[in-house]
Structure 1
Amino acid sequence: MKRILMLTTGGTIASEPTEEGLVPAMDGRLLAAYLNGLAAENQLQIENLYQLDSSNIQPEEWQGMARAVASRFQQYDGIVMTHGTDTMAYTASVLSFMLRNIPVPVVLTGSQLPIRHPLTDGVENLRCAFAMATSGRAGVFVAFDRKIILGTRAVKVRTTGFDAFESVNCPYAAMVDSTGLNLNEAVLQKPSGDFQLEDRLCDGVILIKLTPGLNPEIFDMLLQMQYKGIVIEAFGAGGLNFVRRDLISKLHKVVQSGIPVVVCSQCLYERSDFTIYQAGQKALESGVLQAYDMTTEAAVTKLMWALGQTNRPGEIRRIFETCYAGEVSLT
């Protein structure tokens, strides 16, 4: 029997209908009652961390989750965490950075329908999460629709479909079919050292989606608002406008002021490459950092995590030139 800790944080899977819509109301004990014999097959311990719609999960909750895992993982073979789907990808990404070299599986899951609903996907998602939690493979993962995704590669791509999450720019870490849990050894990470809890975060990071005609003066306002880091979703492989509205010159001033600027692509798949076009090369000259094939969720949370460790531009650059949890392909 495996020792499994189930941490609950709320989300649709634990929601009940009210006059104001679905509200997280069920605790872990009630959720576990829907697992039938699965709970009996493992030594299951349940702890309720939060009872929140995941729209209300913020950096303070991320730190609480990371600290809960860090203080308990040595007593268990794996950890399952229930979570709302809307911000699950952000949580999975940031936990991947904060729980450095976690030696046990930490598997996030949830559902598109409450577990009490007769057509719920919650039970199946929990069963798959338990399968991964008992696999002995280290790391942070998302389990959804019989797929296991690295925490730094999960993106929610559908609002209602049961196949709500995809692994972006990375194969699935595992798949569940009639033969059971099939692990992809090429994707799975191995700890590179001793476990470290690195839970300091900077919440002064903003994400900007570039649109044609965006006024560069918006970045002056962001500096006045004392933001500490900026992530930009640029066009295509890394395009930034510099004709008439010279965004690149403005970003150069931002970087010179000590504020790191990370640029990723608005395209969901494939990598950005700033060496291809003139606009991209000008952006590199301005000092921005490339996100390459990182998801937006990973880029945002990695910058929040990096700024929690240091405010030195050179060290921030080094962090973004390092792959910590499978979040980026550096070639």
Structure 2
Amino acid sequence: MKRKVLLIYTGGTIGMEKDYETGSLRAFDFGNIFEKMPEMRLMECEVFVHPFAKPLDSSDMGPEEWRMIARLIFENYKEYDGFLILHGTDTMSYTASALSFMLKGLTKPVILTGSQLPIGDLRTDAKENLLTSLYYASLYENNEAVIQEVAIYFEYKLLRGNRTLKYSAEYFDAYSSPNYPILGQSGVHLNINKDNLLRNTNKESFYIDEHLSEDVLFWRIFPGMKLNHFKEISQMKVLILQVFGSGTIFSSEKTLETLQQIRNNGTEIVVVSQCISGGISFGKYENSNIFSKIGAISGTDITAESAITKAMHLMDNPNYKGTFAENFSKNICGEISN
């Protein structure tokens, strides 16, 4: 039996081709993808294409587009065995992270991929990314999907979506998962690290939770920063501070006073690290104790992209019991290490 995969094309470099008259890149009609890539007809799965009416640059992707993708998956969940989302690379980690929180009880693969060069370029990475992603999106064993989570496939590596970040705008190997091992790697064979895969242990039925609050602000701390700017953000419900190392910030009475004032205004403060690898550890250094004093939340080893989308999903979400701090500290779908 051939597995059925729904390919959702949102936009991005992967769907571009060069206009040889102008030299500019333009989106091509994804309805003609089988003419552009006849190799797809040789796949051991049936591919059905659903392009966005207007392809979007990934910088234009946001909460409403995340909801659109989640709804498409929900509406077609019973009909298809897997889902492949073609996406621009700049914000793919945000979309993958958001979807990981929104898609509940997932037991089928949701794979995102893109490319650094357009599909029509002679040296493109688009074809390999697309074809291998289709393999992963249709991979079943004993009538059960091997991948049952949101993942990103890029340059021979399958990665947990909410653990990824784009670290290169130059190289084909553009994504990394610094705090979680890879899910799989493609070579002569498609390798899967099954011990690293997520499973729906609660056996809950699939549904979507579209809740996303936009009252979230991300702020990177830097040496010499004037904290009086913080007084202007008192209306934000969540402030994510990206601080130094394992959780340090310049220590002074003014710092404590300002952050405490923000907390007193009802704003939740989440602390994440500027380091790509490793995470937050309150108390490791004296200059991190300030966060314990004000009741800030440790993001541990979460990525910035995942912290932002997790906060958006949790803030004021009536579907979660307990406080924001309690829920943010939980490992919901593999986004932090236990």
Q: Secondary structure at the match of 1:186?
A: helix
Are 2:94 and 1:94 aligned? no
Who is 1:142 aligned against? Answer: 152
- 1:40-59 map, 5 Å: 40=42, 41-49=44-52, 50-59=54-63
**Partner amino acid, structure 1, of 2:150:** V
Using the alignment, how far apart are the partners of 1:27 and 1:269 within structure 2? Answer: 40
| Counterpart-to-counterpart distance in 1, 2:16 and 2:269 | 38
Residue 283 of structure 2 corresponds to residue 282 of structure 1? no
Report the equivalent of 1:261.
Answer: 269
SS of 1:323's partner is: coil
Shift of 1:228: 2.3
Q: Could you tell me whether the CA contact under 8 Å between 1:242 and 1:248 is conserved in 2?
A: yes
Q: Tell me how far 1:297 sits from its aligned partner.
A: 0.5
Structure 1 residues 32, 326: CA separation in 2 closer, same or farther (over 3 Å shift)?
A: farther
TM-score, normalized by length of structure 2?
Answer: 0.91
Matched, 1:84 2:120: no
Paired residue secondary structure (2:315): helix
1:308 CA displacement: 5.0
- Check whether the contact 1:258–1:313 (CA below 8 A) recurs between aligned residues: no
1:47 is paired with a residue whose SS is strand
Give the superposition deviation at 1:68: 1.0
Map 1:1-331 onto structure 2 (within 5 A). Answer: 1-17=2-18, 21-23=24-26, 25-40=27-42, 41-49=44-52, 50-135=54-139, 136=145, 137-178=147-188, 180-191=189-200, 192=202, 193-223=204-234, 226-243=235-252, 246-307=254-315, 309-310=317-318, 315-330=323-338
Deviations 1:281-324 (A, max 9, x none): 22112011111000111011100111151599952112112112
- Pairwise CA distance, 1:172: 0.4
**Is contact 1:7–1:47 with CA below 8 Å preserved after alignment?**
yes
Partner amino acid, structure 1, of 2:314: A
3-state DSSP class of the match of 1:73?
A: coil
* Contact 2:320 2:327 (8 Å CA) reproduced: no
What CA distance in whole angstroms lies between the structure 1 residues aligned with 2:107 and 2:246? 35
In 2, the alpha carbon distance for the partners of 1:218 and 1:314 equals 31
Unaligned 5+ segments in structure 1 are: none
Residues 234, 266 of structure 1: 8 Å contact kept = yes
| Offset of residue 247 of structure 1 | 2.5
1:187-220, Cα deviation, whole Å (9 max, x unpaired): 1100132222111101121211100121112221
**Secondary structure of residue in 2 paired with 1:130:** helix
Compared with structure 1, are the counterparts of its residues 252 and 234 closer, same or farther at alpha carbon in structure 2 (3 Å cutoff)? Answer: same
How many residues are paired up?
A: 325
Residue pair 1:4, 1:43 contacting (<8 A) in 2 also: yes
Identity within the alignment, %: 32
* TM-score between the two structures when normalised by the length of structure 1: 0.93
Q: 1:102: Cα distance to partner?
A: 1.4
Q: Let me know the Cα RMSD of the aligned residues.
A: 2.0
> CA offsets per residue over residues 134-158 of structure 1, 9 Å max, x none?
1222110001001001010111000
* Equivalent-residue separation in structure 2 for 1:173 and 1:188 (angstroms): 6
8 A Cα contact 2:314 2:320, kept in partner: no
| Of 201-210 and 41-50, the range deviating more from structure 2 | 41-50
**Which residue identity does 1:253 align to in structure 2?**
Q
Aligned partner of residue 43 in structure 1, secondary structure: strand
| Residue 32 to residue 204, structure 1, CA distance change in 2 (3 Å) | farther
Structure 1 residue 22: Cα displacement: 3.4
Between stretches 72-81 and 188-197, larger displacement belongs to 188-197
Alpha-carbon distance change, 30 to 252 in structure 1, aligned in 2, over 3 angstroms: farther
Distance (whole Å) between structure 2 residues aligned to residue 313 and residue 228 of structure 1: 18
Contact 2:17 2:121 in 1 (8 A): no
Structure 2 residues without counterparts, runs of 5 or longer: 140-144
